[in-house]
A and B are shown apart, each in its own frame.
Chain A
Amino acid sequence: MSNATTYPWTPGFYAGDRPQIVTSRFQYEDSYTLERYLATDGYEGLKAALGLTGTEVHDDVRKATLLGRGGAGFPAGTKWGLTPPNTWPRYLVVNGDESEPGTYKDRLLMERDPHQLIEGCLIACYAAGLSQCFLYIRGEMAVAQERVAAALNEAYAAGYVGKNILGTEFSLDIVLHWGAGAYVVGEETALIESLEGNRGMPRLKPPFFPAAIGLYGKPTIVNNVETLSNLPWLLRNGSAEYNKIGTETSPGTRMFAVSGHVKRPGVYEVVNGTTTFRDLIYGDDFCQGIRGDNTLKAFVPGGGSAPWFIEDQLDLPFEGRLVGAAGSMLGSGAIMVMDNTTDIPKAALTLARFYANESCGKCTPCREGGTWLMRILDRIVAGLGTARDLDQLFEVGETICPGAFPHAASARLGLTAVPFPYKMTTICFVGPSAYAPINSALVLFREEFEAKLVKRTFIPVSAAPVEPVAAGAGAHA
């Protein structure tokens, strides 16, 4: 760990003394080169995979219960099995459009270890029998684009990608594509639209999920960068070793990007299922507590679109099921910590503004409702809100997400949790995402909103002095 380097454009990465599956090479300055990669078990997973049949690799991944790291947490092995048989070609699309507020783990994986991702793509295509791979990288990630492109060129030149890889029958082409910069393209169907050259707008699913009808109308598997980056280690060590890390339902490790009011923000690879939020935020190995020894007010557990947690939820482990029951989600692995100096309505507005701005404009509730919410909140933060506006926020939210919206429990307010998921009137999750921070803030910290409302002094009519009206005076005066 002595030669670990922090680059000016990357937030700190802190390894600590923990099992590392995807971040083991981050310590080297030249971690992104083929030379370093080959010196550190590079492409050994691919060699192991090519020694087995595709079905055997697929079975091994299925046994490892590798959960999708993009947000939904759907097991990758199961996803690969959803393509209809005998429909060709079929594609792998790598979702590198990481744009959830607070999330920057995939960017690091692409910048620091692009070969690991490429190897993951090769293994996935080999195991799931996919004919081509498209690697979609977010438009704003210039360094990631540059390094993945360079790595891909190296891999092609060295025979790891292309025709008859490592002398076997297996051939695969990987196509790189840069996004144009839209949050919604992180949604898999919008990403497919964007990849096809259309405006990035989500498709309605059901009826057709990408696994059945995806890119160019063909079966398509969309996987997250972190999910695929797990595969080389998994193939090198086998599913049995993988399952020893973490819990039975959530094995392996997960990357978390912590930002906000902690002493040491950064990306941490932590053991799934056993580590708790308290460990991560307060642990000496991790974020080392709240800055300036302030107290914790709230934190976002899974990216900007997740409902917020408070101190009461600190002891929850990183386990999707438990976090869902507690009223939020692990989502994209971004934790944003707010200390007691935080202006909660302002923080909610910041997030709401982002989602209103990033709505693709396709469906009405998100396009109109998101902006409406933002503008009401804008007024409240500016000190021009009225009590009616607070109810109005819930009412507008109701048209985006009918029924009870998930929120955390609060002992202080005597609130019990409303578990995930929510209902929605929109096609994708951008609409509800705009409402999630507002709902959490308003439910858990209503008094902070009330404090900002317009102060009006009402003089009761009975108390006001009444001037006697002179007879004859009035209309003609």
Chain B
Amino acid sequence: MTTTDTNTEPEAVEPVVDPNAVAITVNGKPFTARKGDLIINAAEAAGEYIPRFCYHERMEPVGMCRMCLVEVDTGRGPQLMPSCMFPVSPDMKVLTASPVAKAAQEGVIELLLANHPLDCPVCDKGGECPLQDQTFSNGPGESRYVEEKRHYEKPIAISELVFLDRERCILCDRCTRFADTVAGDALIHFTHRGNLTQVNTFPDEPFASYFSGNTVQICPVGALTAKPYRFKARPWDLEEVESTCTTCSVGCRIAVQSSRDELVRYQGVDSDPVNWGWLCDKGRFGFESVTSDDRLTAPLVLTAPLVLTADGHVPTSWSSALGSAATLIKDALASGGPSSIAVLGGARGTNEDAFAWARLAHDVVGTPNVSAQLADGLPVGLLALKRATIDQAAKAPTVILLAPDLKEELPVLYLRLRDAAEKKHTRIIEFTAKGSGMSRYAWRTIYYEPGTQADVVATTLRNDDIATQIAKGDVVIVAGRANLAESSAPSIAALQALTNSIPKASVLPALRRGNIVGATQVGLRPGKSGLDSKGILNAAADGKIECLILLGADPLSDVPDVDLARRALAGARRIISVDTFLSDSTKLAHVVLPAAAYGEKSGTTTNLEGRVTQVAQKVTVAGTSRPDWMIATELAQRLGTDLGFESFADVTTAISQHVDGFDGVTIAALEANPDGLIALAPHIDPVNDPTVNLGDRNAYDFRLIVSRKLYDRASVTTMSPSLAPLISTTTLFVNPLDVARIGSSIGAEVKVSSAKATVVLALDTDASVQRGTAWVPFNQLGVNIGELIDAAASVTDVRIESL
């Protein structure tokens, strides 16, 4: 540089002004809050916790309890304000502990305690009670109240699962607000007024919400208690570990709590990308099945003529059982070769379980016939499509549902999408054969007759309104199989019609079982020219399967075509079952190996987004049961291969090293990211073009819709004493206008015949069922509707006749 250029002088650096920063002071300390922050949250971020009862950060504030009153000075002098109702403004001065604020807070505590029974020593909430805690931290220390307290009948059951003690209630509107604004089941509300205001149900209408357990969790006192936990433990005796629920594939984060080595409670953990702290009742109370006395506790083998159990099995040692299992596999290999062996199931375990079994099946045994599904989902090629997350779906302007009733199958995903629709930033276009829990919130609900969805989708997409809406931005398709009485082909055809017309769309797979996505991604899927689940069942029925290995699979209960399942289990020469309960299918197995259940093993799981999170062991296994990965490793050893796994962590490491898309998904990384890491396996083959064969439609026939309900005869419900009474009885639902056509009446029994079988069912009506179709919930008590379903047919038509 030879000349001095004025331009080279450093310019005065403009301070970067964050447009969202709001400078306030909290108790004199300066703090930079974010624009739109409520005072209560800004103060907490600044280190000053403001006591509260009605405020819950996942719900709209109501300012009812008046506990969060603080003095706020916005230039007009300090004024008492409920801090949960007002956002921060520039130069606001917040005084959380001034004499006036303290007097107001102490006054509210005293008033709340005026009628609150001091039965803390026998109250389940005692020890973790916000009222108790804030009485100590912000209360006046003593009460001047000498009048008689309010009295109500002590706990009344407001549902099968929840009890309400109105004496303890402080009327904070949390449960009622949750039921109304979060769950959409406004079944509890305030009744009466003044001092006699109380929360209650409507007469003869129980609080039968799938989300009722959340109200127990967010109740700031012991007014709401849940049947499975009442008087089971005291909070200070609880041990807790954070985990992920695997009841369905949403993957809600939960805190697993135990007392004296027994699971006693699950609480929702607020995971921002997934469940926002909410859980469904099946996930929350399903822990009862883990502690069930009916759990398998020792390996069983089918050998005569020893002293047999009722089901023909005799308990044995692990070494003997594993030896028998290895012998079965070796015999099968000898008589039919590797492809005569098939593995079904594995979607209920961890990624580690699935990976170890995939290694055993594909690498040790050498069979390509592996499937984590049970002929009731969609082909694994679904996972090869461009994938979306729950957050992307909840933020997309358009969500297209081509899925089962999300409220029944993936309840917390329903909550998230309902919230997006209620907040008006997402419009839901629903394609369905029958009205669903989401129909109320859908912008458009388009009904199709089962089998014709591809045509209906194509017609709908030509509509101008729909086209304009789709052009507004991102589109997320939630795709699953809505109807078990039709094959997967019509759903796939409709999905292809959507993805072909909307190339920008991404897909959120609505596959139901807990770790179906993870199990499939880490390898529990058909290998090269391998059979899928339906293929395996057909091969077994044809006598081509020498050894069938069931991983937590109960084909008799889960496969829609129950006849196919029966023939498959009868046709398989050898059956090895790894399970937690002796199910109908397991009873037919030659060797039964007891598996560790949820809460009894550590590992990782993958939700429907592909989000990998940790699951944690909290209690000792039942009896001598073992995690699936350990069983696979031991069995491989006996078949001559050392998989090299000595702990679940070894398997996690192996997955991160060997499975595409899982690199970086290590235990350390998951510890650092409790909300999980997205892992998408990129090498899954796309779906083949489906063939839909609808045949001739007889105008007298009803087209059958069979779909799942939240509570069915699966072990998590039947083995949980609190949930078991919620299973309904198999009933046939038709449109009210079709009753006359059948010539029967509501409640009467009717004969329902398909090409395959005839069953007798009670008739009922449901206006959400379209005319000409009939709906039967799957896997309920009584008649097995699977008898009517033919896995080979694209759809099921039934004739309904009065008796």
Contact = CB atoms under 8 A, between A and B. Distances in A.
Interface of A: 182, 199, 204, 206-207, 356-365, 367-372, 375-376, 392, 395, 398-399, 402, 423, 425-427
B86 A361 contact: no
Contacts of B189: 199
B107 A199 contact: no
A370 B115 CA distance: 13
B111 A427 contact: no
B192 interface: yes
B129 interface: no
B65 interface: yes
Contact of B64 (A199, A363, A368, A375): A363
23 contacts: A199-B190, A206-B86, A207-B86, A357-B194, A359-B193, A359-B195, A359-B197, A361-B171, A363-B66, A365-B107, A368-B115, A368-B195, A369-B111, A372-B114, A372-B147, A392-B144, A395-B144, A399-B107, A399-B111, A402-B104, A402-B107, A425-B66, A425-B108
Nearest to A360: B193
A366 to B, nearest CB: 8
Given A361-B171, A362-B64, A364-B65, A370 B104 contact: no
B208 interface: no
A367 B107 contact: no
Contact of A367 (B87, B110, B171): B171
A399 B197 contact: no
Nearest to B63: A204
B147 A367 contact: no
Nearest to A431: B66
Contacts of B110: 399
Contacts of A368: 111-112, 114-115, 195
Contact of A370 (B65, B103, B195): B195
B700 interface: no
B41 to A, nearest CB: 16
B63 A402 contact: no
Most buried by A among B62, B104, B173, B195: B195
Contact of A356 (B85, B86, B112, B195): B195
A402 B70 CA distance: 13
Contacts of A365: 66, 107-108, 111
B502 to A, nearest CB: 33
Contacts of A392: 144
Contacts of B196: 361
A369 B67 CA distance: 14
B112 A360 contact: no
A180 B150 CA distance: 26
A361 B193 contact: yes
Most buried by A among B107, B145, B197: B107
B364 interface: no
Contacts of B492: none
7 A-B pairs with least C-beta separation: A361-B197, A399-B107, A371-B195, A368-B111, A359-B194, A204-B63, A375-B147
B431 to A, nearest CB: 31
Nearest to B171: A361
Interface in B84-113: 85-87, 100, 103-104, 107-108, 110-112
Contacts of A207: 85-87
Given A365-B66, A392-B144, A402-B80, A425 B104 contact: yes
B80 A425 contact: yes
Contact of B104 (A199, A356, A362, A399): A399
B191 to A, nearest CB: 9
Contact of A372 (B65, B87, B145): B145
Contacts of A206: 86
A358 B63 contact: no
B540 interface: no
Given A376-B147, A402-B103, A367 B195 contact: yes
Interface of B: 62-67, 69, 79-80, 82, 85-87, 100, 103-104, 107-108, 110-112, 114-115, 144-145, 147, 170-171, 173, 189-190, 192-197
A367 B197 contact: yes
A425 to B, nearest CB: 5
B174 to A, nearest CB: 14
Contacts of B100: 402
A199 B112 CA distance: 22
A115 to B, nearest CB: 35
B531 to A, nearest CB: 57
A27 B115 CA distance: 53
B147 A356 contact: no
A357 B195 CA distance: 7
A425 B190 contact: no
A426 B66 contact: yes
B80 A364 contact: no
Contacts of A427: 63-64
B168 to A, nearest CB: 14
Contacts of A204: 62-63, 82, 85
A355 B147 CA distance: 18
A18 B194 CA distance: 43
Nearest to B79: A423
A426 B195 CA distance: 15
Contacts of A425: 66, 69, 80, 104, 107-108
Contacts of A358: 193-194
A375 B173 CA distance: 26
A399 B108 contact: yes
A428 to B, nearest CB: 11
B22 to A, nearest CB: 16
Nearest to A391: B144
A424 to B, nearest CB: 8
Most buried by B among A365, A376, A423: A365
Contacts of B66: 363-365, 425-426
Nearest to B194: A359
A423 B108 CA distance: 15
B111 A364 contact: yes
Contacts of B193: 182, 357-361
Contacts of A199: 189-190
A248 to B, nearest CB: 28
A426 B62 CA distance: 12
A297 to B, nearest CB: 29
A43 B77 CA distance: 49
Nearest to A201: B190
A370 B64 CA distance: 15
Given A367-B171, A367-B197, A372 B111 contact: yes
Contacts of A356: 194-195
B795 to A, nearest CB: 43
Nearest to B147: A375
Nearest to B191: A199
Contact of A364 (B85, B108, B147): B108
Nearest to B61: A204
B153 to A, nearest CB: 19
Given A207-B85, A425-B104, A427-B63, A364 B112 contact: yes
B194 A367 contact: yes
A207 B103 CA distance: 24
Contacts of B173: 362
Contacts of A360: 193-194, 197
Nearest to A362: B64
A354 to B, nearest CB: 10
A313 to B, nearest CB: 29
A376 B144 CA distance: 11
Contacts of A426: 66
B64 A364 contact: yes
Most buried by A among B66, B115, B170: B66
Contacts of B103: 398-399, 402
Nearest to B140: A399
A207 B63 CA distance: 12
Nearest to B189: A199
A400 B170 CA distance: 17
A372 B108 CA distance: 13
A356 B150 CA distance: 14
Most buried by B among A356, A361, A368, A426: A368
